[in-house]
């Protein structure tokens, strides 16, 4: 399946609400607990408005993972952008249950890395994953990410504080891109 990554826009609110509802059970072990409003068009519109504000401020870049026809299969964010001496961000992503195991996440992450290291000019992309998220680990390893640590009780996921593995990928050296 050809995978495309495109910026999320306000007009996506209805489709994202439907996707959030359909993937609620699938994503529950990997995501923070969400209020009921998250699963509504109004809740998604609020999130998209914040995403537009964050993009304009160079803080975060929200994308949708689609097929060639534009059907949405997931989300990807380059978040917590640090400029100055750091020049890095965190990457987060998920794909719908029906898209798992088909290379969709790997393709989307590959496109996001081109944006991060190219268009955004970042030096490092980091990822924080649950130790038991083997699928996400495979995606990161596929792209050459290296595990560099463990953060105890890092994020509240699925209703409890959970450890996260810390992964990073440095920008290719000049001439190696």
Question: Which helix (H) or strand (E) element contains residue 39?
Answer: none
Quote the CA–CA distance of 119 and 5 in Å, as a whole number. 14
Identify the burial level of 59 via C-beta atoms within 10 angstroms of its C-beta, where 0-12 means exposed, 13-18 middle and 19 or more buried: middle
Average pLDDT over all residues of the chain: 97
Identify the burial level of 66 via C-beta atoms within 10 angstroms of its C-beta, where 0-12 means exposed, 13-18 middle and 19 or more buried: buried
Domain positions in the chain: 3-170
Is a pLDDT exceeding 70 seen at residue 48? yes
Strand 88-95 versus strand 61-67 pairing type: unpaired
Give mean pLDDT, residues 28-56: 98
pLDDT at position 63: 99
Is a pLDDT exceeding 90 seen at residue 173? no
HSE-up of 5 (CA within 13 Å, CB side)?
23
CATH topology of domain 3-170: Aminopeptidase (3.40.630)
Closest of 65, 68, 118 to residue 93, by C-alpha: 65
**Taking a C-beta distance cutoff of 8 angstroms, is the pair 158, 30 a contact?**
yes
Confidence band of 102 (pLDDT split at 50, 70, 90) = very high
Identify the burial level of 101 via C-beta atoms within 10 angstroms of its C-beta, where 0-12 means exposed, 13-18 middle and 19 or more buried: exposed
Quote the CA–CA distance of 98 and 125 in Å, as a whole number. 27
Confidence band of 1 (pLDDT split at 50, 70, 90) = confident
């Amino acid at each position: 399946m050809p995978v495309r990554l495109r910026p999320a826009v306000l007009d996506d609110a209805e489709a994202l609400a439907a996707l959030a509802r359909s993937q609620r059970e699938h994503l529950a072990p990997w995501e923070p607990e969400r209020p009921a409003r998250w699963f509504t068009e109004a809740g998604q519109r609020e999130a998209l408005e914040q995403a537009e504000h964050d993009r304009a401020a160079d803080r975060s870049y929200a994308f949708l993972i689609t097929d060639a026809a534009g059907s949405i299969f997931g989300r990807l964010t380059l978040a917590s952008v640090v400029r100055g001496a750091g020049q890095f961000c965190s990457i987060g992503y998920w794909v719908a249950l029906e898209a798992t195991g088909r290379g969709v996440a790997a393709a989307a992450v590959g496109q996001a890395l081109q944006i991060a290291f190219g268009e955004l000019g970042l030096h490092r992309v980091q990822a924080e994953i649950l130790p038991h998220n083997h699928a996400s680990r495979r995606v990161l390893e596929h792209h050459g990410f290296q595990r560099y640590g463990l953060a105890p009780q890092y994020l509240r996921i699925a209703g409890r504080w959970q450890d996260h593995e810390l992964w990073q990928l440095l920008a290719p050296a000049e001439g190696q891109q």
